[in-house]
Amino acid sequence: MAENKSPHILNTSATLLGLCFIVLTSIKVSKMQDSTLIDETTALAIILFMVSSILSFLSMRKEKGVNDRLEKIADIMFLSGLIVLFLTTMMVTFNVVK
Residue that wins the pLDDT comparison between 28 and 51: 51
Q: What pLDDT, on a 0 to 100 scale, did the predictor assign at position 54?
A: 93
Average per-residue pLDDT for the chain? 85
Residue 3 has pLDDT above 80, yes or no: no
pLDDT reported for residue 33: 61
* Structural domain includes residue 79: yes
Query: How confident is the model over 68-90, as a mean pLDDT?
Result: 92
User: Does a structural domain hold residue 98?
Assistant: no
Question: What is the extent of the structural domain holding 14?
Answer: 6-30+38-93
Is residue 54 situated within a structural domain?
yes
96 has pLDDT over 80? no
Q: How far apart are CA 57 and CA 60, in angstroms?
A: 5
The pTM score is 0.84
Q: What is the mean pLDDT of residues 23-38?
A: 77
Q: In the chain, how many domains are there? A: 1
Q: What is the mean pLDDT of residues 55-62?
A: 88
For the stretch 34-57, what's the b/e string if a residue is b when 16 or more beta carbons lie within 10 angstroms of its beta carbon?
Answer: eebebbebbbbbbbbbbbbbebbb
Residue 78 has a pLDDT of 94
